Amino acid sequence: MFKLHNPYQPAWDQPKAIEQILNNFQEWNDKVVLLWATWTWKTFTMANIINKLKLPTLVLSHNKTLAAQLTTEFKWFFPENAVNYFVSYFDYYQPESYIPERDVYIEKDSAVNSEIEMYRLATMSSLLSRKDTVIVSSVSAIYGLGTAELFMESSIKLEVWQEYDFKKLKAKLLKIQYNPVKWDIQPWCFNFLWNMLDIYSSIEDMIYRIHFDEETIFMIEKKNPITWENIGTTQQTVIWPATQFMQNMNDIDEIITQIKQELAERIEYFKKRNELVFAQRIQQKVEYDLKMLKETWFATGVENYSRYFEKRNPGEPPQSIFDYFPDEFLLIIDESHMTIPQFKAMPSADRSRKINLINYGFRLPSAIDHRPLFWQELEYMLGIKNIEKIKKDLESNEKLNGANPLIWIEYLDKTWRKKKKVHILFVSATPAEYEKEVSNNHIVEQIIRPTWLLDPITYIYPKSWDYNILEKNFKKDRK
């Protein structure tokens, strides 16, 4: 499991904080606040908690930069374990939207960072194949992913001295979104060379060269993708999908029939309201998407039909990275006073944009279910609050982000896939009332610096426009 590498031992407030947090978790106080001061090495304390609990861990951060910093530090603490970085993979992202006031439709446009996409795929594969995982994530954690079961089933295990049919192997690589080489091998490509198969891994900068004796593998080499230097050999490897959104196309005809039914209902809805432009618009758009799905198994904006591919009921939440974790894990919310409000706000903006697209005939109503998780859904899933408490919180609000909360809140109780057992550590120098409330004021302090660094002397003067007097007093105090 986890093996913490560090030449230093916890000092001053750190040993006490670590012990108190672990004692709270052992006493089933699964929600604890770590109140810390600057330069008290909170990340080191978090690493020790992970090392002691021996549980897969998700660390949530409110921005990419801080998440990258935490990932670097955890990689240093746990060099033998799987430490992954899970943030949005877009260098540039313009979501599909419509501005009714100006009658302006903006198509989705994006630039994907292939390196970050590789990190995301590595995150998903680590969670499905290892227990010693630390995932550092931004708000991207609440957005929908393909189902964990399908991602696992789509992987290809290659093992020395096993037989493989070339045609079937090539078909499966194409199905999990690997591309044949055109000129030179690139990430997520494969190339058959007589009795060899080169596969550029989707989760690491590595090319696996598979040697065949007829249809039997007799050697698997690992190659540097730039120099083609031989890094070593392995007896087996797993080729993971080259996309996060694996869709089950076995029932494509049934899925298309269901989408057509919703389309017919939507056209009828617009015609009854004499909104013929919207009716024609949605008909053209959806029929084109269905044609592309039938012919190529892909369409731009296919994620808007995810409810059908994942066989979810209306209002039911999508799968996210939380579903890739086992039944018990550790959740650390870093800078919780900033991270939690951000996680609460994201679904509102997404829903507002989708409602405009639906109302004006650019998307079907089912597109609303391709969305980030509501914070209330996470509260239930993570055991922060039960259904009764969540309902009580929502009693004063008739609507939440344009939705009736009582509709989807019932889905949580009846159709949620699995409720997890989660140990939650809120980490903040200034915890908000929310963290104090849900943790029942189980607050652990870490305020003494093990480095002996002190705050600088601070002078506070009355407000005045006479800066000469302030300067004289400052010089006098310095003497």
pLDDT tens sequence across 165-224 = 888 999 999 888 898 988 888 888 999 888 899 999 999 999 999 999 988 999 999 999
Q: Residue 245: pLDDT band by 50, 70, 90 thresholds?
A: confident
- pLDDT at position 407: 61
- pLDDT at position 329: 95
User: In whole angstroms, what is the distance from residue 249 CA to residue 243 CA?
Assistant: 14
Beta bridge partners, 403, equal 400
Burial of 423 (0-12, 13-18, 19+ CB in 10 A): buried
Render pLDDT for 54-107 as a digit per residue (tens, 0 to 9).
999 999 999 999 999 999 999 999 999 999 999 998 887 888 899 998 989 998
- pLDDT at position 463: 65
Asked if residue 377 has pLDDT above 80, the reply is yes
Task: Return the closest-CA partner of residue 116 out of 152, 92, 151.
Answer: 92
Q: Residue 1: pLDDT band by 50, 70, 90 thresholds?
A: confident
- pLDDT at position 299: 77
Asked if residue 412 has pLDDT above 80, the reply is no
- pLDDT at position 310: 86
Burial of 92 (0-12, 13-18, 19+ CB in 10 A): exposed
Render pLDDT for 275-284 as a digit per residue (tens, 0 to 9).
999 999 999 9
Asked if residue 473 has pLDDT above 60, the reply is yes
Q: What percent of the chain has pLDDT over 90?
A: 53
User: In whole angstroms, what is the distance from residue 455 CA to residue 33 CA?
Assistant: 24
- Residue 130 vs residue 146, higher pLDDT: 130
- pLDDT at position 90: 83
Q: What percent of the chain has pLDDT over 70?
A: 91
121 contacts 241 by C-beta, under 8 angstroms:
yes
Give the mean model confidence (pLDDT) for residues 119-140. 94
- pLDDT at position 408: 63
Q: Residue 400: pLDDT band by 50, 70, 90 thresholds?
A: low
Place of tokens 């009355």: 462
- pLDDT at position 271: 95
409 contacts 317 by C-beta, under 8 angstroms:
no
Residues 6+ apart with CB under 8 A from 324: 123, 124, 127, 128, 145, 148
Beta bridge partners, 193, equal 196
- pLDDT at position 132: 93
Asked if residue 471 has pLDDT above 80, the reply is no
Asked if residue 399 has pLDDT above 70, the reply is no
Place of tokens 């209002």: 315
Render pLDDT for 347-376 as a digit per residue (tens, 0 to 9).
888 888 999 999 999 999 999 988 888 888
Asked if residue 442 has pLDDT above 80, the reply is yes
Query: At how many degrees (to 10) do helices 42-53 and 64-77 cross?
Result: 60
Asked if residue 248 has pLDDT above 80, the reply is no
In the predicted model, what is the mean pLDDT of the chain?
87
Beta bridge partners, 303, equal none
Q: Residue 411: pLDDT band by 50, 70, 90 thresholds?
A: low
- Residue 10 vs residue 237, higher pLDDT: 237
How far is residue 53 from each of residues 23, 167, 328, 367, 440, measured CA to CA in Å?
Answer: 11, 46, 11, 40, 22
- pLDDT at position 70: 95
Q: What is the pTM of this model?
A: 0.86
User: In whole angstroms, what is the distance from residue 81 CA to residue 57 CA?
Assistant: 12
